[in-house]
Amino acid sequence: MLDADEEYKQRVLEPARAAGDRPPEDLRVRYRLREPLRPAEVAASVKEVRQCWRRARGQLKYRKLIDRLEAEHRTLVPVFEAAASGDLGPLQSRLVAAQASTARRRVEVKARLLDAAGALGLLSPVDLDGLARAGGTSAAELAELAAGCGVEVREPDPLPLAPPYQAYQRVREALDVLGHRHLPDFVLAGPAIGPMRVLDGFYAPGGRLDAAAVTAVADRWARHARDSSATHADTVLVALKVALKEDRLDELVLYDITARLRERHRQRASEAAMLRHATAELGVDDGDARRLIFSIAREPAAGGGGGGPAARLRELIDAGEVHAAALLAEALLAAPPDQGGLDQDAAVLVAELRQRVTAAARLSADAAADPDPDRRWGLLAEALRLVPDLPGAEERQRRLPPRPVPAVRTTVDGPAIRISWSPTPSTAGEIDYQVVRYGPDGRGADEVAVTSEPAARDGSPPVNVPLTYAVVARRGLAAAPPATAGPVVVRPEPSDVEVFAGDGVVTGRWRCPPEAARALVSRDGVPVLSGRDNFRDDDVRNGTTYRYRVTAVYMDAAGREVTTPGVWRAATPTAPPLPISELAVGPDPAEPGMVIAAFDPPGHGTPEIVALGAPPPWPYGAVVPVAELARAGRRIAATPVPQPPPREGLRFRAPTGVLLAVTMAGDTAAIGAHHWHVNLPPPGGLLAERRGGVVIVGFDWPPGVAEIEVTCRTADAPGPDPARSATVTKAAYDAQGGVRLAVPEGADVEVAACSTGLAGGARVRGAAVTALLPGRRLVRYDLHRTGPPWRRGLVVALTPGGPHGPEATNGSVRLRRLVLVRGPGTVIPQRAADGETIAVWEDVDVAGPTELRVPVDPPGMRQRPGGTHGTYWLRCFLDGENPGTELTDPPVSRLRFP
Amino acid sequence: MSALTCPYCFATVPRDRVAFRCVGRSGRGAGCAPVLDEKLAAYTGSTAGASLPPVFAPPKPSRALRAGAAFGRAGSRAVCPECGQPTGRRVCPECHNPLPAAYCDTPGRIVALVGAKNAGKSTYIAVLLHELMNRVGTELDASLVACDDRTIDRFKRDFARPLFDERRLLPTTASAVTAPREPLVYLLTRTHVGRAGRTRHLALTLVLFDTAGEDLRSRDVADLHLRYLEAADAIIFLVDPLELPGGGSQDSDPIDVIARVTEVVQGRRGTRRDGRLDVPAAVVLTKIDALPPVVPQSALHRPRGHQGVLDLDDREAVHEQVRALLHERQAGQLDRYLAQRYVHYALFGVSALGGRPSDGRVGTGGVRPYRVEDPLLWLLYRFGMLRGR
């Protein structure tokens, strides 16, 4: 385990830490996933890696990285859960996305690299480290990338900070006055020389820079007239000779070139401008020029702004290497002043470092002296917070164990064992618990769980073996002394115990644990002969409830039998139920929607009704377990209703389907007769109205019914007549505002409405509700004048039938008293009393067209009762008793006069 | 150029000024984005549903002719000046409500419906529309189409669902003062077969305001609602016979309501030389099932005769029967008033529910309307959309 941890640290954590504590984006690397991906291996690998994280987090240097890994893992939990359950799709998508992200990051890092290298194409290892941290990649990867891009990584060349010749400044002034670009130009006579190399020794294609050359130029100036130029030349020559004498001529030339480039650097010249200045104006070789400018750019600035001791110290502190920074600070303080002293920022840092290291050392010393491990752990944690790399502190802290667990309890939970314990009193640090199971005599230690909770469950402990459980509190690499509980023995009970009651017999069956020696059965304390997994008890009486205990017997280590508490079951043997031979189902007249099932009572058992969706799968008379019956159908709650003896009845609300009569006795049921029932409650509140030759039928639609059939039956057509019946849906009923059927007005009509539907492919009808509409004998009349103009008369023409033509009537219609009324004014008279009676006929028999003459002169009727002429109405009425007889008016225009 | 009357705001709009609404953007295609239609929002009183593609004025006649030649009949389509998409969605330029194509193409008739408080207007509207959509529509070979989504929603929510699905009586309509309303606008289109066998489509615009009785008394609200009466080509007055004569309150006296409405219509349309209005008026006695039995030979006890035409004998018989009923119930003044003020008026007796309700619910058997279509058939006959026999 530890080797695997080290490998993971070296291969994954360290590179990630080097990359600025950035977790590797490739989940294969992060979780050590191997191709091809398999759900079980993925789950196992993730679990192992996370355990490694928890262990590595004990080391301070990994803490930030592990916290990031855990935070990102929380977002990945659904992906890994899906992978563990067999769905690798989300994980594959993540891997592909990570690859794409890595590719994008490489492109970005490459761009940064090229930007940093600039026109020189050079980078220092420090630059590379910084880029690697910023880009979340490793320095090695970045170096490889740089090589591919043509960027050279090298340390800056050490350039002389101080002039090898003390009076160099005067030499520089002299050269400037004499018009020479630099010392080689002075010695080798300028334009003739080619690109010169100044690093690693002076070399110029146009000449050598040695004593001969210096002597030659000195001779030349000796022949020169003594003037101010000669004086300046002497200044230069003296410097050259001194340098020759000290063998530092190359160094002097290097310093001269460097000084000129530094001057341009201080003037904020760009790298390209400096490169151009060095090569074109100073004549330096291109390679040396790049190296010179590269090195000058990375020299600490005079003010300490971009580098120097302060920057390095800050860098170390930021990296958590406070102790190393303190050592560096001490070294800097011990260095001679001429090698560069500490600036103000560095001095502040040094003071801070001293305080931190001193405080951490004091805390570490206090920890060493404190006997309490928790306090020691806390002191060391405080010391490491101040100085994370305090030597030895982290290791000492990781080896401080927590206090042991005070008490451990074990509980047998069926075939498993629950282990619970009180948490360790130690609260410092991250503490987890390792639960270990030991066999007899402490043999065979097996890790059961590692958890941070104070409980665990051993799901598959060895059966019939004394077990001891130890709980170890752990903190870092240190573990507290174990706390133990036990021994505890798991002895499972028989499983799937079932007891069946029959007619004078009870049987039972179960599954006996394989480790058990045998099983025992007792009935109310009396042993019952049994096999390993069943029994049969004939010594029972019907109607009595018995309680059976089924126990498992195990052999302990000493060879003694140990009996489990056992499983209890009850059974009541009964005589076999007898089936119901015949079943009649009909609607309950007392309540719509309820039905009554009538049957002859069975000889034994309780009758019940079970609703099924199809005919019963059992033959008539079969005796089946009640549980099997319950799976096939639904027992219907019913109330007994008295029926004519010897019949019995059950009243219930029946669904559409098969109603099966069963007889219950104990746990068994006898299959009786069945009846296919269609739930067709009758319509409620039937209303029927005559409107002329149409009967309008209305009713309340019963719930759950699809169609209603309405039928009108007359005496002349008592049977079903398609023309006088209609089957309507509720939608049609609502849309048409009731049901309209054409029926002769003169006929007595029985209107019947019943629910209807299809059952088993055949149309079935429920109980019908009816209403009676008595027929009306109609007599149509008309008025017309008759006779010559000088002898006008009025004729009332009577015809049997309705307004729209003759209609079959049974025999003649007798009008007891027919009255012709004249009503004055514009309003039609509504009754005989509304006008003047002109004529009365009694007992008029109308068997066919009949004419009644009025012995008055119609023109005379224009005289209103008041004596004025105007509009008047003539209308006939039936006066007195004319039951079932109605008159039908002619069109209004024939009643209005003139 | 003739003019249209908007069935929503009742503004009179010359046909060449009927505006268009852009079809808007569909998927990734071109088209204008929805904007808040402030005129429509002001009409409905809410910005909900008023975010629509913009409305633009009709093009000039020459351009309209070109557009019409390209996309259909001149004046029926236009090209949106913003997005260049052709559109045939015509709207009222005043209120921006949609004007159905059939209404724009065929001279529509506006039928207004008013009634006193508790006259059963809501129930009558619900049942009449239901009958036109079902039984009567089949008989007349006519289609009834709502002109806008709001009408569809309101009919379902406020009328059909409670009355037909839940069988609850409709509550008394709240005053427009507290609950602003807009009319239900339907287009009843009937295929008319001429004598030469040529068919043509005749449209009748049913504008139904479920007006509370007190709204017709309140001057402010009456001005608001009676605008549609001014624009009406026919008026249906609903009268509760149990409130005759003047038996109800100030808001429910049928004669007062009819007189008030008549004055308004006279003020706009003027009258003939004999002082009567040329607008057909149908006066409908509702709830006739609640009246005591009348003479057995009454036409009200019989169904209409001929199907698909107006039975003129039946019409006259019912008119005289109801007229006699009015006089019998001492409401002859109403009949005389109508005769003096209207050239064409007719009396009707209907039962929207077909039975007496109880406990706020429709009675046994559900809604079984009786003769509710009679007034509309008579108006169709008056407009030449239905033959008489």
Task: Answer yes or no: are the C-beta atoms of A510 and A497 closer than 8 Å.
Answer: yes
* Rounded Cα distance, A502 and A667, in Å: 8
Of A815, A818, A814, A850, the C-alpha closest to A832 is: A818
- Asked if B355 lies within 8 A of A889 by C-beta distance, the reply is no
Q: Across the interface, which of B299, B320, B365 has its CB nearest the CB of A699?
A: B365
- Asked if B365 lies within 8 A of A691 by C-beta distance, the reply is no
Q: Across the interface, which of A691, A699, A831 has its CB nearest the CB of B302?
A: A691
Task: Collapse the DSSP code of A795 into the 3-class scheme (helix H, G, I; strand E, B; otherwise coil) and give the result.
Answer: strand
Residue B364 near chain A (CB below 8 Å) = yes
Searching chain B, which residue's CA lies closest to the CA of residue A696?
B368
List of chain A residues whose C-beta atoms are within 8 Å of the C-beta of residue B319: 892
CB contact burial A510-525 (16+ within 10 A = b; e otherwise): bebbeebeebbbebee
Q: Across the interface, which of A685, A698, A889 has its CB nearest the CB of B317?
A: A889
How many other CB atoms are found less than 10 A from the CB of residue A553?
15
Residue B294 near chain A (CB below 8 Å) = yes
Place of tokens 């104006």: A281
- Asked if A889 lies within 8 A of B164 by C-beta distance, the reply is no
Q: Across the interface, which of B127, B316, B364 has its CB nearest the CB of A891?
A: B316
Distance from CA of B324 to the nearest CA of A (A): 6
| CA distance to A20, A117, A315, B227, per residue, from A129 (Å) | 10, 13, 11, 86
List of chain B residues whose C-beta atoms are within 8 Å of the C-beta of residue A687: 355, 364-365, 368
> Which one of A830, A873, A876, A878 would you mutate to disrupt binding with B, by most B Cβ within 10 Å of its Cβ?
A830
Please give the backbone phi and psi of residue A34, each rounded to the nearest 5 degrees, phi first.
-115, 140
Of A699, A784, A413, the C-alpha closest to B364 is: A699
List of chain A residues whose C-beta atoms are within 8 Å of the C-beta of residue B369: 737
How many other CB atoms are found less than 10 A from the CB of residue A223?
7
Lowest mean pLDDT among A635-649, A671-685, A802-816, A878-892: A802-816
List of chain A residues whose C-beta atoms are within 8 Å of the C-beta of residue B370: 691, 696
Say if residue B1's pLDDT is above 80.
no
User: What are the helix (H) ranges across A118-227?
Assistant: 125-135, 139-149, 168-178, 183-188, 211-222
* Rounded Cα distance, A686 and A704, in Å: 18
In sequence order, which residues have a C-beta less than 8 Å from that of residue A843 and are 6 or more positions away?
A814, A815, A816
- Asked if B299 lies within 8 A of A735 by C-beta distance, the reply is no
Residue B267 near chain A (CB below 8 Å) = no
In sequence order, which residues have a C-beta less than 8 Å from that of residue A377 and are 6 or more positions away?
A397, A400, A426, A428, A429, A475
- What pLDDT, on the 0 to 100 scale, is given for residue A509? 92
Q: Across the interface, which of B302, B327, B366 has its CB nearest the CB of A698?
A: B366
* Rounded Cα distance, A653 and A372, in Å: 79
Task: Answer yes or no: are the C-beta atoms of A91 and A35 closer than 8 Å.
Answer: no
- Classify residue A386 by its DSSP letter: H
| CA distance to A775, A802, B300, per residue, from A876 (Å) | 21, 15, 17
Average pLDDT of chain B to the nearest whole number: 81
Angle (nearest 5°) at CA A535 between A530 and A538: 105
pLDDT in tens, A178-188: 888 888 888 88
Say if residue A69's pLDDT is above 60.
yes
List of chain B residues whose C-beta atoms are within 8 Å of the C-beta of residue A745: none
pLDDT in tens, A787-816: 777 777 888 999 887 655 555 455 678 888
- What pLDDT, on the 0 to 100 scale, is given for residue B93? 92
Beta bridge partners of residue A635, listed in sequence order: A610
- Asked if B313 lies within 8 A of A691 by C-beta distance, the reply is no
- Asked if A691 lies within 8 A of B369 by C-beta distance, the reply is no
List of chain B residues whose C-beta atoms are within 8 Å of the C-beta of residue A827: 320, 323-324, 327, 332
pLDDT in tens, A703-740: 778 899 999 888 776 666 666 889 999 889 988 888 98
In sequence order, which residues have a C-beta less than 8 Å from that of residue A325 and are 6 or more positions away?
A313, A316, A317, A349, A353
Task: Answer yes or no: are the C-beta atoms of A563 and A625 closer than 8 Å.
Answer: no
* Rounded Cα distance, A137 and A128, in Å: 10
In sequence order, which residues have a C-beta less than 8 Å from that of residue A465 and are 6 or more positions away?
A439, A440, A489, A490
- Asked if A803 lies within 8 A of B324 by C-beta distance, the reply is no
Task: Answer yes or no: are the C-beta atoms of A69 and A27 closer than 8 Å.
Answer: no
Residue B388 near chain A (CB below 8 Å) = no
**What would the two tokens of residue A20 be?**
């600025």
- What pLDDT, on the 0 to 100 scale, is given for residue B346? 95
Q: Strands A506-511, A534-537: parallel, antiparallel or unpaired by DSSP?
A: antiparallel
Please give the backbone phi and psi of residue A763, each rounded to the nearest 5 degrees, phi first.
-80, 130
* Rounded Cα distance, A794 and A838, in Å: 11
* Rounded Cα distance, B303 and A691, in Å: 6
Please give the backbone phi and psi of residue A291, each rounded to the nearest 5 degrees, phi first.
-65, -40
Beta bridge partners of residue A885, listed in sequence order: A777
Say if residue A195's pLDDT is above 70.
yes
- Asked if B364 lies within 8 A of A887 by C-beta distance, the reply is no
In sequence order, which residues have a C-beta less than 8 Å from that of residue A511 and are 6 or more positions away?
A494, A495, A496, A533
In sequence order, which residues have a C-beta less than 8 Å from that of residue B62 and are 6 or more positions away?
none
Band of residue A193 on the pLDDT scale cut at 50, 70, 90? low
* Rounded Cα distance, A516 and A562, in Å: 10
Residue B156 near chain A (CB below 8 Å) = no
Angle (nearest 5°) at CA A282 between A276 and A287: 60
Say if residue B220's pLDDT is above 60.
no
Q: Strands B281-285, B234-239: parallel, antiparallel or unpaired by DSSP?
A: parallel
- Asked if B299 lies within 8 A of A889 by C-beta distance, the reply is yes
In sequence order, which residues have a C-beta less than 8 Å from that of residue A724 and are 6 or more positions away?
A711, A712, A713, A714, A717, A741, A742, A743
Q: Three-state SS across A824-838?
A: ECCCCCCCHHHCEEE
Q: What percent of chain B has pLDDT over 90?
A: 17
- Asked if B134 lies within 8 A of A735 by C-beta distance, the reply is yes
Task: Answer yes or no: are the C-beta atoms of B232 and B265 closer than 8 Å.
Answer: yes
> Which one of B291, B320, B350, B370 would you mutate to disrupt binding with A, by most A Cβ within 10 Å of its Cβ?
B320
- In terms of average pLDDT, the best of A97-111, A289-303, A481-495 is A481-495
pLDDT in tens, A597-620: 999 988 788 899 999 988 899 999
pLDDT, average across residues B122-147: 90
pLDDT in tens, A631-664: 889 989 999 998 888 889 999 988 878 899 999 8
Q: Across the interface, which of A694, A734, A830 has its CB nearest the CB of B164?
A: A734
Of B265, B250, B236, B293, the C-alpha closest to B120 is: B236
pLDDT in tens, A241-263: 888 888 888 888 899 999 888 88
Searching chain A, which residue's CA lies closest to the CA of residue B371?
A691
- Asked if B369 lies within 8 A of A803 by C-beta distance, the reply is no
Burial-class residue A418 by CB neighbours within 10 Å (0-12, 13-18, 19+).
Answer: middle
Task: Quote the distance between the C-alpha of residue A65 and its chain's center.
Answer: 29
pLDDT, average across residues B318-339: 89
- What pLDDT, on the 0 to 100 scale, is given for residue A281? 84
Distance from CA of A720 to the nearest CA of B (A): 24
Residue B329 near chain A (CB below 8 Å) = no
Searching chain B, which residue's CA lies closest to the CA of residue A737?
B368
Searching chain B, which residue's CA lies closest to the CA of residue A685?
B364
* Rounded Cα distance, A747 and A744, in Å: 6
Say if residue A557's pLDDT is above 60.
yes
Residue B296 near chain A (CB below 8 Å) = yes
Q: Which long-range contacts (CB under 8 A, 24 or more apart) does A581-585 make?
A: A581/A672, A581/A673, A582/A673, A583/A659, A583/A661, A583/A672, A583/A673, A583/A674, A583/A675, A584/A675, A585/A654, A585/A659, A585/A675, A585/A677
Q: Three-state SS across B73-116?
A: CCCCCEECCCCCCEECEEECCCCCCECCHHHHHCCCCEEEEEEC
In sequence order, which residues have a C-beta less than 8 Å from that of residue B123 and are 6 or more positions away?
B163, B169, B170, B286, B352, B353
**What would the two tokens of residue A786 be?**
């008759």
pLDDT, average across residues A831-855: 86
Q: Output the CA torsion B110→B115→B117→B123 (10° steps).
A: -70
Q: If interface means Cβ-Cβ distance under 8 Å, which residues of chain A face chain B?
A: 684-685, 687, 691-694, 696, 698-701, 733-738, 803-804, 826-831, 877, 886-889, 891-893
Say if residue A336's pLDDT is above 70.
no
Element (H, E) at A366: helix A344-369
- What pLDDT, on the 0 to 100 scale, is given for residue B72? 43
Average pLDDT of chain A to the nearest whole number: 83
- Classify residue B203 by its DSSP letter: E
How many other CB atoms are found less than 10 A from the CB of residue B168?
15
- What pLDDT, on the 0 to 100 scale, is given for residue A803? 58
Q: Across the interface, which of B133, B303, B327 has its CB nearest the CB of A692?
A: B303
Task: Answer yes or no: are the C-beta atoms of A250 and A202 closer than 8 Å.
Answer: yes
* Rounded Cα distance, A77 and A555, in Å: 46
Task: Report pTM.
Answer: 0.54
Of A160, A151, A176, A121, the C-alpha closest to A289 is: A121
Q: Which long-range contacts (CB under 8 A, 24 or more apart) does B317-320 make?
A: B317/A889, B317/A891, B317/A892, B318/B347, B318/B348, B318/B349, B318/B371, B318/B374, B319/A892, B319/B346, B319/B347, B319/B348, B320/A827, B320/A828, B320/A892
Distance from CA of B76 to the nearest CA of A (A): 36
List of chain A residues whose C-beta atoms are within 8 Å of the C-beta of residue B355: 687, 698
Q: Strands B199-208, B110-115: parallel, antiparallel or unpaired by DSSP?
A: parallel
**How many Cβ pairs within 8 Å bridge chains A and B?**
93
Angle (nearest 5°) at CA A220 between A219 and A224: 110
- Asked if A698 lies within 8 A of B355 by C-beta distance, the reply is yes
Say if residue A284's pLDDT is above 80.
yes
Lowest mean pLDDT among A172-176, B253-257, B358-362: B253-257
Residue B368 near chain A (CB below 8 Å) = yes
- Classify residue A586 by its DSSP letter: E
Q: Three-state SS across A736-754?
A: HCCEEEECCCCCCEEEEEE
